[in-house]
Structure 1
């Protein structure tokens, strides 16, 4: 995602509130994949100028709420190394490393977030 001096200005689209348009201007909504009981959080990005403003926490909470409605018990996260601390603060635990899909040879932290009690994965 390009680093911008100013966040993009955007008007709400049809059926979209000012708040959700603002949230998308500062961060990208998540993508959840998988089948219950295990899902994967594939995308959760915050514009660099908005890191530390609460946008990531709101996007995270939306992802967790959505995962619960899908009956996921845990989320697996392949994290950017710079985002690992964020996920740990949200309650995720590192379980290993995975190869990056975009940078050959790069290892990314792999974490798990438990939505409900279950057997240990690691």
Structure 2
């Protein structure tokens, strides 16, 4: 991607645009309309999440190119959102966004993050240093299970930029 990618906290007025980015990203994998409609709630970026300060936007040429978030999950934390706009895929945005998530987790004192991954994204997360730890129920589709991964913040392969 020619030009620089910058990162910033999500803003309250852009939740609809970030939700649409998440939907475009998920749809990129060829899911049908029914699946996408069932997934809409899980893909929605809610204002309360943005206000937490744990939602990061990757920006390229003044436009959101990716969005990610961390959130509490039981006794630990998870990567709750991680989506790259299809137009930005394959250009380093995902890697840089992952590094920004790891840096945020480090600043928050978080030791590990779990990732409930789309099957199409597992290889990306593994390249970033996550390891498979099992399967877990989908938060969008009843009866569907998804790969569950974990990334140890201290030993991640990602070169961290603050």
Range of TM-score over shorter length: 0.7 to 0.9
Bigger share in helix = 2
Which 5+ residue runs of structure 2 have no aligned equivalent? 1-22, 28-57, 156-162
Moved over 2 A (4+): none
Of 64, 68, 83, 1:25 maps to: 64
Of 89, 103, 112, 1:51 maps to: 89
Question: Which structure has the greater CA radius of gyration?
Answer: 1
Matches within 5 A, 1:35-114: 38-114=76-152
1:51 CA displacement:
1.5
After superposition, the CA RMSD in angstroms is: 2.3
Which 5+ residue runs of structure 1 have no aligned equivalent? 5-19, 118-122
1:110 CA displacement:
0.3
Q: Distance in 1 between matches of 2:105 and 2:122?
A: 20
**Number of positions where the alignment pairs a residue of Structure 1 with one of Structure 2:** 100
TM-score (norm. length: structure 2): 0.56
In structure 2, the residue corresponding to 1:91 is in which secondary structure?
A: coil
